[in-house]
Amino acid sequence: SKATLGCLPTAVPLYCDFSFTFIRLILMGGDFCCAVGCHNHRAADKRVTFHTFPRDIARRARWVAAVRRKHWVPTKRSRLCSEHFSEDSYELGSRLAREFGLGQKSPKLKFDAVPTIFCYVVAPPTRHRGAFVKRRRKDLVDEAIAASTATDVTSSVLDPDPDPHPVGSESPDQEWGQAPVDISGLSPEAAQGPKEVSI
C-alpha cells in the first residue's frame, strides 16, 4: 500500500508530530518569518500574523536595515511576523477588531510602521592563529626599534657638539706635548723676553 501523502512507501516512517506539517510547508509553501533566529511560520501559530515588505522604496529600505541580514534583498514572498512590531505599530481600529473577533483577519500596520523587536545574533570574535599573533608581535617590536633609532639619529644631528676646550682643560699647546716652562730662576731681564731694538 501507499502512504496517503505524496505516495511515499509505507516503509518510510511518518511521524505525526512533525512530518505532515513539514511536508505540507515544503510542497505547498507557506509564510515564514525572514528575521534571523525567528522560526515562526503561519502553520505553527495562528495568532502570529505576517506582513509583506512595503513597495515604497524608502520604507522598504528601513525594514531591510532593521532585519540586519548581510547582502540580503527581500523578495515578493519575504515576510516579517507580528512579533517584530510593537503594539503602537498597528492601527487601533484594526487591532481592536481582531481582538474582539469582528472579522479582521490581520491587524493593519500604520503607514510609517517599522519593525523594532529583534534578537540580533552577535558573531563571535575571530580567533587569530598563534603564528600570526607571533609574527604581528615581532613586527610591532621591529617598528618600535626602528622608531627609536631614527629618534637617536635626529637628536645627534640637531644637538651641537660640546666645547672642545672648556674652561680648565688643557691648552692646545699642551695637547701637542709642549710642557709649560718654569721661568722662576731666570733674571728679570731674561724673564721679560727679548727687547725691541729701535733703528
Both 13 and 60 in one domain: the answer is: no
Query: 80 phi and psi, to 5 degrees?
Result: -120, 135
The reported pLDDT for the residue numbered 132 is 75
Identify whether 191 is part of a domain. Answer: no
Both 19 and 72 in one domain: the answer is: no
Enclosing domain of residue 52: 31-123
Both 53 and 2 in one domain: the answer is: no
Q: Total structural domains in the chain?
A: 2
The reported pLDDT for the residue numbered 67 is 94
Dist. CA 181–CA 177, nearest whole Å: 12
Share of the chain above pLDDT 90, in %: 23
User: Among the ranges 18-32, 67-81, 110-124, which has the highest mean pLDDT value?
Assistant: 67-81
Q: For the chain, what is the radius of gyration of the CA atoms?
A: 47
| Structure confidence at residue 79 as a pLDDT band (50, 70, 90) | very high
Amino acid residing at 46: K
Both 16 and 47 in one domain: the answer is: no
124 or 75, which is more confident: 75
Dist. CA 44–CA 41, nearest whole Å: 6
Rounded to two decimals, the pTM is 0.47
Choose the final residue of a domain: 123, 147, 177.
123
Identify whether 172 is part of a domain. Answer: no
CB neighbours (10 Å) of residue 48? 16
- Cβ contact 120:84 at 8 Å: no
Choose the final residue of a domain: 68, 103, 123.
123
Dist. CA 62–CA 126, nearest whole Å: 29
Both 42 and 115 in one domain: the answer is: yes
Both 11 and 92 in one domain: the answer is: no
Q: What is the largest CA-CA distance in the chain?
A: 155
Identify whether 58 is part of a domain. Answer: yes
Both 91 and 105 in one domain: the answer is: yes
Identify whether 38 is part of a domain. Answer: yes
